[in-house]
Every structure is written in C-alpha cells, then in structure tokens.
Amino acid sequence: MDTSSLSQSEILRLNNDFAEWNNSYLTVIDSVEKVNAEFKLPLKNHTVLLIVCIKGSLEVGYDMSSVELVPRSIMVLLPGHLIRKYHPSDDFEGFMISSSIANLANMLPLMSRILVCSLHYKENPTIQLDEEEFLNQVLFRDLLKHKLARSKDHFDLLVINKLCEGIFCETLNNYSKRIHGAINAQCSRGDALFYKFIVEIENSFKQERSVSYYADKLCVSPKHLSAVVKDVSGRTAGEWIDYYVVNEIKRLLTSTDLSIQEISCKLHFVNQSFFGKYFKSHVGMSPRDFRNKTLLPGF
C-alpha cells in the first residue's frame, strides 16, 4: 500500500446525506443516488466496485444487462464492465466503495476468493444477504460514516482504509459461502484447475516458485498448466507465482521491521544477492529503496 497517498485524501461534503472520500486507490460514496449527478455515464469501470442496498431499490445497467438491487442485496462489479445507468428509487439508501485491484491485492489470503467469485458470478454479480450478513454490512457502514465525519489525521485515514478492507473481506466471505462446493460442478475444467492452482500457490509460494512444482501437485504437465492458466486468466502460471511472491515481499518490507536478509531467508531465496535481483527485476528498484520510498512520513 502506498501510504503516502493518504495525506492527499479529500472529504467532499455535497449535502447532509452524501459524502465522498477518495485517494489514489480507494473511493467511498455514501448515497449512490447522487452518482448520476457527479459522474458522466456511460462509464467504463476500472476498479472493483461494491454497492450495498440498505433501503428502497436501485437499478444498475451494465454492459447489456440490468439488475435491481433491493434491501439486503449487494453487487460487485469487476474491472472491464461498462456502467450505463444508476436509477435509484426515491427512498433509496445505500453506499458504494470502489477499490483498485492493486489495493485489494494487498489482502493476499483473500485473492483466491476474489478469483473464484469473479469466475462464478461474471454473469450475475448480485447476491441477497441473510439478516446477520446484512447487519454486519450496516455496522461497517455506520463505523465508516462516523470516521468520515471526523477531522482526518494519519491514524483516522488508516482506520478508514482498514474499515473499507473489512467491508470487502465481509463481502467476499458472503460470496464464497454461496459457491462452496459448487466450483467443480458449475464452472469449466479450466476454471476449476485455475482455482486449484491459485489455492496451491497460496499454500506454498513462500517455499516454491517453480511451475513444475505446482503442476506435479495438480497432476498435470507444466505445459498444460501454463496453457490453461494463460487461457483463463490472461497471465502465465509463472507470472501468478511471481505476483504472489512480489506482493509478499512488499508487505514484509512495509509492515515489518525484518531485515532484507531475514526476508530473503523467510521466502527461501538462495541468498540475499539473488533476492535483490529478483525483486528489482519485477519492481524496478532494490528492496531497500522500495522500503525507504514507502515509509510513512513522520514515523
């Protein structure tokens, strides 16, 4: 997470029931009924967009489809959709959170859920919450509104970001519970293999970085695994492995006081020199330079 952007955040009070908060990777809007007045539609979505309906109804038109959100329903739109319409009822109440892929990628343990949910709900991105799930969303929203109403220091902004992450975590849990056990029955073999591959990466990427290791675990050839992963996701198997490793290195550099040598050992690199070259080849700077660049000013 690039925490330097937090100091550039802005709160825009447009009226008593609408607030927008945004920085370079996260936007919060309370009362989606104002979106039509503030954003020109149609709009190509480049973020992960979450909409929660608390009261009334909201019709959302995207691509060639249209869905109606009713109380206790939520909608998640992934990047690439063309949003054509927001049509709220007069009594609509809800909220929207928009997050960049890069920001959500910081939550590595949840990445497989993001992927499998996106595969399973590409055609119908809405679900209906039960009472407990809905109350959890409302509690998060109320905490968020309380924080948004305060003056913003570094700690307030960090809490706002974590509350938004909590809402996304809660939402991903809601989605994943509904597709547990259905992945093999309702998606293609390629999608199922890709999902299993991601799960294996999450279990082993700190120790293993070779495509052949994961192919052996999944009882397929490295060539077949690479072809399927590329076809389903647009990335090669090796790129997905590197993606997890690099993001874990970034996390350890920015959120722990482990030395470069300790991080290298923790992720089972043969030596610190190779570790540094690996990181620089993917990020464009050394681990030390990356850590220094992303330190929060004043800490």
Average of per-residue pLDDT across 202-217: 93
9 contact partners, CB below 8 Å, separation of at least 6: 21, 22, 23, 152, 157
Q: What is the pTM of this model?
A: 0.59
Beta strand 18-22 pairing with 82-88: unpaired
CA angle 131, 105, 84 (to 5 degrees): 65
Look over the chain and give the mean of its residue pLDDT values, rounded to a whole number. Answer: 78
Average of per-residue pLDDT across 234-254: 88
Nearest to 245 by CA among 289, 201, 195, 277: 201
Chain center to CA of 153 = 24
CATH superfamily of 188-294: Homeodomain-like (1.10.10.60)
User: What is residue 190's predicted lDDT score, i.e. its pLDDT?
Assistant: 80
What pLDDT, in 10s, does the model give residues 113-140?
A: 565 566 556 656 889 999 999 999 999 8
Average of per-residue pLDDT across 211-219: 96
Pinpoint the alpha helices (H) of the chain.
Answer: 35-38, 101-105, 111-120, 131-148, 154-179, 183-186, 189-204, 211-217, 222-233, 237-255, 260-266, 272-283, 287-294
Query: Is residue 153 very low, low, confident or very high in pLDDT (cuts 50, 70, 90)?
Result: confident
How many whole angstroms separate alpha carbon 274 and alpha carbon 282?
13
List, by residue range, all CATH 1.10.10.60 domains of the chain: 188-294
Nearest to 229 by CA among 115, 124, 125: 115
Contact 30, 148 (CB under 8 A): yes
164 contact partners, CB below 8 Å, separation of at least 6: 26, 28, 97, 99, 144
3-179: CATH number? 2.60.120.280
68 contact partners, CB below 8 Å, separation of at least 6: 57, 58, 59, 60
Supply the angle between the helices 237-255 and 189-204 in degrees, to the nearest 10: 30
List, by residue range, all CATH 2.60.120.280 domains of the chain: 3-179
How many whole angstroms separate alpha carbon 80 and alpha carbon 73?
22
